[in-house]
Amino acid sequence: MNIFRVFVLFLCYSATRAQTFAADNKIDSKELRCLVCEKSLQEITNEVKKFDPNKKVDVGGYRLDIDGNYKHKAVPQAKSELALSELIEGICDKMDNYIRAKWKENGTLTLLSMVSEDGMMNPDWSNVDIIQDDDLNKSLKYYCEGIMEEHEEDIIKLYQEEQSDVTKAFCFKQSKLCPPPTRREEL
């Protein structure tokens, strides 16, 4: 991130700061957990997409097939339990890039990524009110870590099964950390 971007970011922050304290600080922890679930699974999916499709990981000897034989087989990195597990272990650091905010339009809670991967500022800054909360600068990570610790194996399985939308399959269907889609807009 260059100096200019930092400066712009600061300006935006200053501009939103004035409204900050007007925003309702009471946050439903279920709602927050759902949002953290969605964002962290999206981050995992992004990273899985970066795996080299040609890179194979040997899983021979670790698994039994349905006939009870050892499988001396290599799987793509994106389906490797070890690779996925290592990825999940570090994923909650990504939450440092998110802040809690409410859409000005409808007051709905959201998590805004401050800077995109190419270092650009999120264009939605002007559409949200930032929520400030003293103990909260680490809590997105805390929620994320809670989810990953409890559900790591389930999440890995979903990637191994090549679910088309792991975020939906995990956050909405399997873990039910998010309310059923009927009560929300379709993703």
Ligand X SMILES: *[C@@H]1O[C@H](CO)[C@@H](O)[C@H](O)[C@H]1NC(C)=O
Judged by the rule CB under 6 A, the positions of this chain that interact with ligand X are 103, 105-106, 108, 134, 137-138, 185
CB 75 within 8 A of CB 64: no
Q: Least distance (Å) from ligand X to the CB of residue 55?
A: 36
Q: Least distance (Å) from ligand X to the CB of residue 110?
A: 7
Q: Least distance (Å) from ligand X to the CB of residue 185?
A: 6
CA distance 163 to 154: 12
Q: Least distance (Å) from ligand X to the CB of residue 134?
A: 5
Which one, 14 or 106, has the nearer CB to ligand X? 106
Which one, 79 or 141, has the nearer CB to ligand X? 141
Which one, 42 or 85, has the nearer CB to ligand X? 42
- DSSP element (H, E) containing 185: none
CA distance 83 to 26: 38
Which one, 2 or 106, has the nearer CB to ligand X? 106
Residue 119 DSSP one-character state: S
Neighbouring CB atoms inside 10 A of 105's CB total 8
Neighbouring CB atoms inside 10 A of 4's CB total 8
Look at the block and give the residue holding tokens 């100096």. 3
Q: Least distance (Å) from ligand X to the CB of residue 164?
A: 22
**Cα first-last separation, the chain:** 31
Which one, 65 or 105, has the nearer CB to ligand X? 105
